Amino acid sequence: MPEAKSSARGSNKGGAYVDRDKPAQIRYSNISAAKAVADAVRTSLGPKGMDKMIQDEKGDVTITNDGATILKQMQVLHPAAKMVRRSSCHCLVHPEHEHMLFMAEFGASNTSLLVELSKAQDIEAGDGTTSVVVIAGALLDACYKLLQKGIHPTIISESFQKAVEKGVEVLTGMSHPVQLSDRETLLNSATTSLCSKVVSQYSSLLAPMSVDAVMRVIDPATATGVDLHDIKIIKKLGGTIDDCEMVEGLVLTQRVANSSVTRVEKAKIGLIQFCLSPPKTDMDNQIVVSDYAQMDRVLREERAYILNMVKQIKKAGCNVLLIQKSILRDALSDLALHFLNKMKIMVVKEIEREEIEFICKITGCASPGKTVSIVVRGSNKLVIEEAERSIHDALCVIRCLVKKRALIAGGGAPEIELAVRLAEYSRTLGGMEAYCVRAYSDALEVIPSTLAENAGLNPISTVTELRNRHAQGDKMAGINVRKGGISNIMEELVVQPLLVSISALTLATETVRSILKIDDVVRLNI
């Protein structure tokens, strides 16, 4: 009997033992790890979703329901990842336990895949980072059931690709074109993205601010994208969210170095990336001066060197000087500050390297362009950071509308419409493809089901009624979490960019297909 069992499970060819069940075990362990991560963020979906309190290794606490932020922290704190890091140390593993270690390692790497998926959605659309992970988890659950029925992974992968291509057609067909001159529609989109945030009660302030900021830095007639680096968000502790404001200019957090000049009108700004201090040699050395005359000469040379630089700055007509931060030596000596003070030149030092490009744009020093600053205020660090993330999401929503000028209904309407139409599409196919496409369509019901569940509604009855409404041709029927029922979601002004839905669907499907086609993990002994 042991020999028969050995021949069924594997073979010994050329001295190497091959386990035939290993590919299936790898896929199942992979899917289980992904589903666990998706379930962890699932409760954060929607305007009634819960927030997560995350504590990192340094003890810093973050409170958020943003999918990308949660998963970025989980990459560090996930138990499977920690287990693999420990197992990579010099230790011995019993052969019987080697498969368990293998599963732990694959679970950790799979968690990394979902983190990358959420990052990709954040880069592409800026919103829908939780939805994309939840959809990926539901699709992997569908894959698990299909694999257990004996369907080959390649057939599942190709069928999913057909389904997503059809899904993009359906989403495009139910979208509505939007004009950037329609401020009301842009505000509705920004408000919808803010509804699920911790600072949702301030959406009436943050949404117009986000729309105005984007429209200031682009030309609506010709723009095909938005560079969010042109919108600088400055976090300032103190006050409340109500004190947040948009400034059409440059806001610096650094203090003025010379107290005698506090206000300058008709400013001519100079930005320098060199130091106003005595030069230093490339190598450490010591100079011993034993004669007072030599000491006096050194001081005179230093004074003349700095005075010459300050005169050149004054000659250029500069009356406000910004100095880049230096780590090699003092960016501004006391003597240089004294001379600048006498010449009535305002000085701001410690300008960070990351701020240089933004300052150059707004001052016109190099590649002039349109820029704005948003000052975010809050009573504590947690509130300020969440407000910054919320404003970033709202900015990304408007950017999506600039890139692809079309809107789609929210409230789970796109996903249930996809589920109904893909189920109809599956009946036109034959064989295993029809079965896989139907499983794909059923998996998409996870979004409306989760929205209903997080809002305290009965998910089964809500999704059933929603499916019936869409089957009768009511494409705009969605879950109204405010009223606790189903209504025309477009009339409730719950809208989102088409790009967010298309990006979430395609990226989730690509990730699932990639995971599905992996049947082994190779560890290199370096």
Please identify every residue annotated as catalytic.
66, 129-130, 393
- What are the DSSP E strand ranges found in 361-412? 372-378, 406-409
Phi, psi of 292 (to 5 degrees): -60, -35
Instruction: Report residue 516 as tokens.
Output: 């599905």
- The distance of Cα 400 from the centroid of its chain, to the nearest Å, equals 14
**3-class DSSP state of 269:** strand
Query: How far apart (Å, rounded) are the C-alpha atoms in residues 54 and 152?
Result: 39
Query: How far apart (Å, rounded) are the C-alpha atoms in residues 515 and 513?
Result: 6
Query: How far apart (Å, rounded) are the C-alpha atoms in residues 188 and 218?
Result: 20
- Give 410's Cβ-side CA count (13 Å radius): 25
Dihedral sign from CA coordinates of 442, 444, 450, 451:
negative
Phi, psi of 272 (to 5 degrees): -120, 145
Instruction: Give all strands of the β-sheet with 320-324 in edge-to-edge order.
Output: 269-272, 320-324, 346-351
Question: Are 509 and 162 contacting, i.e. CB atoms less than 8 angstroms apart?
Answer: no
In 60-182, which ranges are continuous DSSP H helix?
Answer: 67-77, 79-87, 98-124, 129-148, 153-173
Closest CA to 242 of 376, 116, 351: 376
Question: Are 475 and 97 contacting, i.e. CB atoms less than 8 angstroms apart?
Answer: no
What H or E segment, with its residue span, contains residue 442?
helix 431-443
Size of the chain, expressed as the number of residues it contains:
526
Quick count: other Cβ atoms within 10 Å of Cβ 84? 17
Q: Which amino acid is at 274?
A: F
Q: Which amino acid is at 457?
A: L
CA angle 333, 339, 343 (to 5 degrees): 140
Cα-Cα-Cα-Cα torsion 126, 131, 137, 139, nearest 10 degrees, comes to -100
Q: Bridge partners of 376?
A: 235
Question: Are 412 and 453 contacting, i.e. CB atoms less than 8 angstroms apart?
Answer: no
Query: How far apart (Å, rounded) are the C-alpha atoms in residues 206 and 375?
Result: 11
Q: Bridge partners of 324?
A: 351
- What are the DSSP E strand ranges found in 285-366? 320-324, 346-351
Question: Are 410 and 192 contacting, i.e. CB atoms less than 8 angstroms apart?
Answer: yes
